[in-house]
Amino acid sequence: MLRILQFLYSLRSFLLFILLELVAIWMIVANNSPQGAAFFNSSTAVTGSILQTQSDVVDFFSLAEANEKLIEQNAALMEALTNLNPPSDSVTFDLDSAFEATFKFKSARVISQTLRFSQNHLTLNKGSKDGVEVGMGVFNQDGVVGRIKTVSENYSVAISLLNTGMLVSSKIKTSDVFGSINWDGKLANEAKMLYIPRHVKAQSGDTVVTSGFSSIFPEGIPIGVIKAVGPGENQNHLDITVTLSSDFSSINYVYLVENTQLPEIDSLQQEAEVINEY
């Protein structure tokens, strides 16, 4: 018995090493499951405030560019608003409540972001205090950016579209064929479109937008443009490469979207035992 203990004691540093590596592997596995509650991440108070200060300084240098983009979008919004306001000499009537706004929008600023790994994340400066909830969609004026993963009081962390574990329900705009956008972990401006059957005629240059089936994003938010269509390894599906429309290296301000009817849709689907793959 004593010998065994002596033997183990002589191996103590190796055993400690194995133990700590197991802890690390456990953290990797626990942190990578989308539902797993990540406790230590950049949305905690201390790390959040450090990253916020850094972002404040860095953002100062890109103010001009950000302003320009905001002005562009303001213009587009004003144009849309004038189309919505009926001229004073016309008659209007309200449609019933089914057409009431199902989506609510919020804005946030990106204070930290990773780009170079296969599991990338963004940290935003809004948290549960501002009404951010887990599962909200994140996009900017160019296109889809990601989805909220964890929320603390003042900050939140989103899974980037540049994350091999992220699937976004999408469709080809011209033909309405739907599939899933998934990043393959290679280039920061390209992703793959999955589950498009062979018989579909897709060609490079077609626009890809969100489908609205996942109930996270409203229909029609741009994702990218098809770059190349190939036969693919799988017998049934095409291999489609999409050039993403958001430039992930220069994301500053983002919009958050919440589907107010998501709980109803979810509980209905659960009752009907529909498995939503997105």
By the 10 Å C-beta count (0-12 exposed, 13-18 middle, 19+ buried), 69 is classed as: middle
CA distances to 156, 211, 229, 237, 250 from 149, rounded to whole Å, are: 8, 21, 32, 30, 21
Q: Does 20 engage in binding with another protein (CB under 8 A)?
A: yes
Residues 161-180 that bind another protein (CB under 8 A): 164
List the one residue out of 190, 130, 137 whose CA is nearest residue 159: 137
Strand partners, 248: none
Residues 179-208 that bind another protein (CB under 8 A): 184-186
**Interface with another protein (CB under 8 A), residue from 117, 129, 236, 274:** 117
Phi then psi for 112, rounded to 5 degrees?
-160, 150
Sole residue written with tokens 């055993």: 15
Residues binding another protein: what is the number (CB under 8 A)?
Answer: 41
Q: Does 128 engage in binding with another protein (CB under 8 A)?
A: no
What CA–CA distance (Å, rounded) separates 240 from 226? 7
Report the residue number, 26 or 278, with the smaller CB distance to another protein: 26
Q: Does 9 engage in binding with another protein (CB under 8 A)?
A: no
**Interface with another protein (CB under 8 A), residue from 80, 116, 199, 273:** 116
Report the residue number, 89 or 233, with the smaller CB distance to another protein: 233
Stretch binding another protein (CB under 8 A), from 28-36, 80-88, 89-97, 199-207: 28-36
Q: Does 41 engage in binding with another protein (CB under 8 A)?
A: yes
Q: Does 40 engage in binding with another protein (CB under 8 A)?
A: yes
CB of 50 to another protein, least distance (A): 8
**Interface with another protein (CB under 8 A), residue from 119, 141, 189, 207:** 119
Q: Contact, 148 vs 135, CB < 8 A?
A: yes
List the one residue out of 222, 199, 200 whose CA is nearest residue 209: 222
Count other Cβ atoms within 10 Å, centred on residue 227.
Answer: 15
List the one residue out of 8, 250, 28, 11 whose CA is nearest residue 122: 250
Report the residue number, 139 or 155, with the smaller CB distance to another protein: 155
Residues that bind another protein (CB under 8 A): 12-14, 16-17, 20-21, 23-31, 38, 40-42, 44, 47, 50-51, 54, 112-119, 121, 123, 157, 164, 184-186, 249
